[in-house]
Amino acid sequence: MRAGIDQQVRGMVAGAAPPAAMIEGMAKIGFDITHVYGLTEVYGPASVAVKRESWAHESLTEQTRLNGRQGVRYVLQEGMTVMDPETMAECPADGVSMGEIMFKGNIVMKGYLKNPKATQEAFAGGWFHTGDLAVMEPDRYVKIKDRSKDIIISGGENISSLEVEDALYRHPSVLACAVVAKPDPKWGESPLAFVELKSGATVSQADLMAHCKTLLASYKVPKEIRFEEIPKTSTGKIQKFQLRERAKNTS
């Protein structure tokens, strides 16, 4: 049911970094969405994009950007930060320097059952390594850029699959999309997009590429777009590992 003018539905989103277009679209129809983030190993939701009063004075687009971040630690977590996983040095809070999200606290798991090797790797340096690549912004809110296994390295440049997906979701014909790395003889890897269109919508690969060029640097624009069904779990989560296999098998 659509929220009325004087009504507001509050909800939480978790499980994956939400597309900005989704948060903005929900806001327009009266849904107040709060983004939370975490993993089973850190007791489910372990951080939240706590909304500040000053954000209400920003444009809807800016509110969407602020609300779409993974946020700050829950009170019960001792620490949440972004670090270089090799040096274990904290990344500067500049919104640009990419590192790995790490947690510390007494509600972080003790370790993986009967798997000391995996436990040792997960807690290298005394922090739990999430495997999520992110930046820390000047207000120390964290923003995920990608899973470490999903980052696309093209010609030496890191491309966030989530950033490319955000751009695609802003096209009115796109219902669902996912971007993965495709082997490329020249660049090593290049972005390959899988897209499902809304019922009755028609759009070409060239149209979507032109749309992406208005929002992304040229090297981030997908080199290929495939219109086909995207594999999902029973809860609707996109199974990127299957798409990575498709990309490898048809390169």
Contact between residue 23 and residue 33 where contact means Cβ atoms under 8 Å apart? yes
Does residue 134 sit in the same domain as residue 86? yes
Q: What is the pLDDT along the chain (251 residues), one digit of tens a residue?
A: 454 455 678 888 886 666 777 777 888 888 888 889 999 999 888 999 999 999 989 988 888 889 888 899 999 899 999 999 999 999 999 999 999 999 999 899 999 999 999 999 999 999 999 999 999 999 999 999 888 888 999 999 999 998 999 999 999 999 999 999 999 999 999 999 999 999 999 999 999 999 999 999 999 999 999 999 999 988 788 899 999 999 988 75
Task: Determine, yes or no, domain membership for 109.
Answer: yes
List for the chain the helix, strand, coil content (%; round to 5).
25, 35, 40
Does residue 143 sit in the same domain as residue 156? no
Does residue 89 sit in the same domain as residue 174? no
Does residue 54 sit in the same domain as residue 83? no
Does residue 64 sit in the same domain as residue 108? no
Task: Determine, yes or no, domain membership for 3.
Answer: no
Task: Please state the separation of Cα 189 from the chain's center in Å.
Answer: 20
Does residue 105 sit in the same domain as residue 52? no
- Beta strand pairing status for 224-227 and 188-197? parallel
- Among the three residues 22, 55, 73, which one is the final residue of a domain in this structure? 73
Amino acid in position 62: E
Instruction: Classify burial at 20, counting beta carbons within 10 Å of its beta carbon; exposed 0-12, middle 13-18, buried 19 or more.
Output: buried
Does residue 86 sit in the same domain as residue 134? yes
Contact between residue 191 and residue 181 where contact means Cβ atoms under 8 Å apart? yes
Contact between residue 206 and residue 247 where contact means Cβ atoms under 8 Å apart? no
Task: Determine, yes or no, domain membership for 139.
Answer: yes
- 41 lies in which domain range? 9-73
Contact between residue 98 and residue 145 where contact means Cβ atoms under 8 Å apart? yes
Does residue 141 sit in the same domain as residue 229? no
Amino acid in position 48: V
Which residue bears the tokens 């007494």? 106
Does residue 123 sit in the same domain as residue 210? no
Task: Determine, yes or no, domain membership for 135.
Answer: yes
Q: How many residues in total does the chain contain?
A: 251
Which pLDDT value is given to residue 248? 86
Task: Determine, yes or no, domain membership for 199.
Answer: yes
- Among the three residues 147, 179, 204, which one is the final residue of a domain in this structure? 147
Task: Round to whole Å and give the CA distance between 70 and 78.
Answer: 16
Which pLDDT value is given to residue 159? 93
Does residue 143 sit in the same domain as residue 158? no
Question: Long-range contact list for 142-145, CB < 8 A, 24+ apart?
Answer: 142/47, 142/69, 142/70, 142/71, 142/72, 142/80, 142/81, 142/82, 142/101, 143/68, 143/69, 143/70, 143/95, 144/17, 144/37, 144/70, 144/101, 145/98
Does residue 129 sit in the same domain as residue 182? no
Amino acid in position 103: F
Output the domain CATH number for residue 188.
3.30.300.30
Does residue 193 sit in the same domain as residue 231? yes
Task: Determine, yes or no, domain membership for 236.
Answer: yes
Task: Determine, yes or no, domain membership for 237.
Answer: yes
**Count of domains for the chain:** 3
Give Cβ neighbours of residue 141 (< 8 Å, ≥ 6 apart): 49, 66, 69, 70, 71, 72
